[in-house]
Amino acid sequence: MSETVTPPSLWARLWRHPGFLLLPGIGIVALAPLLGGTISGFLREALGKSPALSLFSAALVAALSIFAYWVFVHFVEKRPFTDFSPQGAAREWGFGAAVGFGLMTAVVGVIAAGGGYAVQGTNPVHVLVPVLAMALGSGVVEEVLVRGVIFRLLEEWLGSWAAIALSAALFGLAHMGNPNASLWAAIAIALEAGILLGAVYMVTRRLWAAIGLHMAWNFTQTGIYGVAVSGLTMDGLLRAQISGPELLTGGAFGAEASLPAIILCTLSGVWFLWRAHKTGQVRPSRRTRLTGVVA
C-alpha cells in the first residue's frame, strides 16, 4: 500500500522560491553596514576621526557583512556556506586583484596616451590608509549583497543570462546616488563592472575573486593613480591632472565613465562569460529545471 504524500503548503513553496528569498536576503545583509556604521559613529565620537579608525570601521563592516550572509545562508536558505570556503581563497582573491589592477592600469594608460592623464607629483604613503578602507568596505559589502545575494538568487530563479542583465542594471542604478553621477555613468558601471563581476562569480562560484577584483579596481584607480572612483575623490600616491573630453577621461565621475573603461572592461566581462559557458557554469531558469521546458 503506497503512502500518501502531502504536497508542501503554499508558504513552504514560497519560502523555497529564490524570488521570495531575495527579500530576506537583501534585508539581512543590508543590516550589516547599518550596524557597522552605528558602531563606527560611536567610536568616532569617543576617539575622534583617524585613518586607522576608518580602516578598522571598514574591516568591521566587511566582517559583519560576511557574518550576516552566513546567517542568511545557514538559517534561511539552509544550504552549505561555500562562497567563503577557505581552500584556495588566497589564490582566487589574488587572481581577482590582479585582474582589477591590470584593467585599471590599462584604462589609465589609454587615457594617458590620449592626453587626458598626466602625473603632477606624488603624495606620502599614508594617504593609502583611507583608500584601503574604502576599497575593503565597498569590495566586500557590495559583492556579498549584489553577487552573493542578488545575482545568485536571480540566477537560481531566472537563469544566468537574465541574472547577469538584471544584477548589472541594478549595480549601475545603485551608483546614481554617487557624487557627479549621471545616466551615462550608471550605464558604464552596469556594462563594465556589473557584467564583469557577475561573470567572474559564475566562473569561480565563490566570492573571493569578485571581491579581490572589486577591491583592486577601486584601490588602483584612486590609491595609485589618483583618479576619482565612482564620483568619489580621494588622494592617491600620484597627483594627477585630468583634462580633455569626458568620453576619454570619464570627467568628474572618474575613469569608470570613460570610453576606454567601457570597452576594455566590458570585453573582459564578455570573455569571462564565454569561460563560464565553456566550463558549464551557465545555469537554466528554475522553470526549465523543474519542467524541462525551455522558456
What pLDDT was estimated at residue 112? 98
C-alpha cell of 166? 538584471
Mean pLDDT, residues 142-159? 98
Is residue 109, in this structure, part of any structural domain at all? yes
pLDDT at 4 over 70: no
Contact of 258 with 248, CB cutoff 8 Å: yes
Write the burial class of residue 223 (CB in 10 Å: 0-12 exposed, 13-18 middle, 19+ buried).
Answer: buried
- Give 84's pLDDT tier (boundaries 50, 70, 90): very high
Could you read off the pLDDT of 173-218 as tens digits, one per residue? 999 999 999 999 999 999 999 999 999 999 999 999 999 999 999 9
3-state secondary structure of 229: strand
Is residue 56, in this structure, part of any structural domain at all? no
Residues of the chain with pLDDT > 70, as a percent, come to 94
pTM: 0.94
Mean pLDDT, residues 85-105? 97
The range of the structural domain enclosing residue 273 comes to: 85-291
Higher-confidence residue of 119 and 294: namely 119
What pLDDT was estimated at residue 12? 66
Is residue 41, in this structure, part of any structural domain at all? no
What pLDDT was estimated at residue 289? 81
Mean pLDDT, residues 36-65? 91
Is residue 65, in this structure, part of any structural domain at all? no
Separation between Cα atoms, residue 62 and residue 52, nearest integer Å: 15
Is residue 270, in this structure, part of any structural domain at all? yes
Domain count, the chain: 1
- Give 47's pLDDT tier (boundaries 50, 70, 90): confident
pLDDT at 251 over 80: yes
Residues of the chain with pLDDT > 90, as a percent, come to 86
Is residue 60, in this structure, part of any structural domain at all? no
Mean pLDDT, residues 26-45? 92
pLDDT at 2 over 70: no
Mean pLDDT, residues 88-110? 98
Separation between Cα atoms, residue 222 and residue 214, nearest integer Å: 13
C-alpha cell of 48? 575622534
Is residue 38, in this structure, part of any structural domain at all? no
Mean pLDDT, residues 238-248? 97
What pLDDT was estimated at residue 1? 45
C-alpha cell of 61? 563592516
What pLDDT was estimated at residue 224? 97
Is residue 215, in this structure, part of any structural domain at all? yes
